[in-house]
């Protein structure tokens, strides 16, 4: 199964992707997480990515696409994956298409976690990650509206988008995602 989880920062993408990944037993691939690891290890990628992340901007496409090309080529990714945070603009969506075409792996479904943007700032401030400060959050939300939100229409046109209300409690959203994917209900 190949899934993409789409939604604004703070919508619970990471939480839902992680839950689903353990339920279906496929890797959860989060570009944000991979980038944070690169930054903490001080790798060349991490050094290049750091300033963009600290200001709430997107890391340049070329870096992120190269990172994903490598990650999707790894062995555990051959049986499927859940992408969280990628693609996050049209350029990356097209790059993913080409990558999957070359690999002979069509993607399946895009889950869109729809939430009201207004309460997200509070949710993120409570999370307390390093880039979860009010001004950086505002910038990330603005970047989302401008660059990532158009992907909803992009995938809707391809008829592979599943629209889920992301505002209820974690377990409720997880149940809705499972039902939409027609997964057997977890014990
Ligand atoms: P996230 O963990 O998804 O909230 O991402 C945290 C930060 O990592 C973002 O604010 C961006 O700076 C960077 N980032 C994550 N995914 C991408 C991506 N697909 N393209 C560019 N930058 C990204």
Q: Residue 145 above 70 pLDDT? A: yes
Which mutation among 5, 30, 59 tests ligand 1's pocket best, with the greatest number of atoms within 8 A of CB?
59
- Of 29-43, 97-111, 161-175, which range is least confident? 97-111
Percent of residues, the chain, with pLDDT higher than 70: 98
Q: Residue 121 above 50 pLDDT? A: yes
What end-to-end distance do the CA atoms of the chain give, in Å?
21
List CB contacts of 45: < 8 A, sequence separation 6 or more.
35, 38, 63, 67
Interval between CA 10 and ligand 1 midpoint (Å): 12
Q: Which residues line ligand 1 (CB under 6 A)?
A: 9, 31-32, 35, 52-53, 56-59, 64, 85-86, 88, 92, 140
Contact 62, 8 (CB under 8 A): no
Band (pLDDT 50/70/90 cuts) for residue 124 is confident
Taking the C-alpha atoms of residue 71 and residue 85, their distance in angstroms, rounded to an integer, is 14
List CB contacts of 42: < 8 A, sequence separation 6 or more.
none
Token pair for residue 23?
């339920």
- The pTM for the full model equals 0.94
Q: Residue 123 above 90 pLDDT? A: no
Give the pLDDT confidence of 41-54 residue by residue, as tens digits.
Answer: 999 999 999 999 99
Taking the C-alpha atoms of residue 163 and residue 24, their distance in angstroms, rounded to an integer, is 20
Give the pLDDT confidence of 9-45 residue by residue, as tens digits.
Answer: 999 999 999 999 999 999 999 999 999 999 999 999 9
Which uninterrupted H or E stretch holds 174? helix 170-180
Contact 81, 29 (CB under 8 A): yes
Report the Cα 77 to chain-centroid distance in Å. 16
**Pairing, β 2-6 against β 28-30:** unpaired
Closest CA to 136 of 115, 120, 151, 116: 120
pLDDT of residue 185: 62
Band (pLDDT 50/70/90 cuts) for residue 187 is very low
H runs (alpha helix) in 42-133: 44-54, 61-72, 90-103, 120-127
Interval between CA 58 and ligand 1 midpoint (Å): 6
Taking the C-alpha atoms of residue 46 and residue 44, their distance in angstroms, rounded to an integer, is 5
Measured from the Cβ of residue 69, the count of other Cβ atoms closer than 10 Å reads: 15
Band (pLDDT 50/70/90 cuts) for residue 72 is very high
Whole-number average pLDDT of the chain? 94
Mean pLDDT of 83-106: 96
């Amino acid at each position: 199964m190949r899934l993409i989880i789409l939604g604004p920062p703070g919508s619970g993408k990471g939480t839902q992707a992680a839950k689903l990944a353990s339920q279906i037993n496929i890797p959860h691939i989060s570009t944000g997480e991979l980038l944070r690891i690169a930054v903490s290890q001080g790798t060349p990628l991490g050094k290049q990515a750091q300033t963009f992340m600290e200001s709430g901007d997107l890391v340049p496409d070329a870096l992120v696409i190269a990172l994903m090309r490598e990650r999707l080529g790894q062995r555990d990714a051959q049986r499927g994956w859940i992408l969280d945070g990628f693609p996050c603009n049209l350029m990356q969506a097209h790059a993913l298409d080409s990558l999957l075409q070359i690999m002979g792996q069509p993607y399946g479904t895009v889950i869109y976690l729809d939430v009201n943007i207004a309460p997200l700032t509070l949710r993120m401030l409570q999370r307390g990650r390093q880039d979860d400060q009010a001004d950086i959050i505002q910038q990330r939300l603005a970047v989302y509206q401008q660059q990532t939100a158009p992907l909803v229409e992009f995938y809707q046109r391809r008829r592979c988008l599943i629209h889920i209300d992301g505002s209820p409690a974690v377990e409720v959203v997880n149940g809705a995602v499972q039902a939409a994917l027609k997964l057997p209900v977890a014990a």
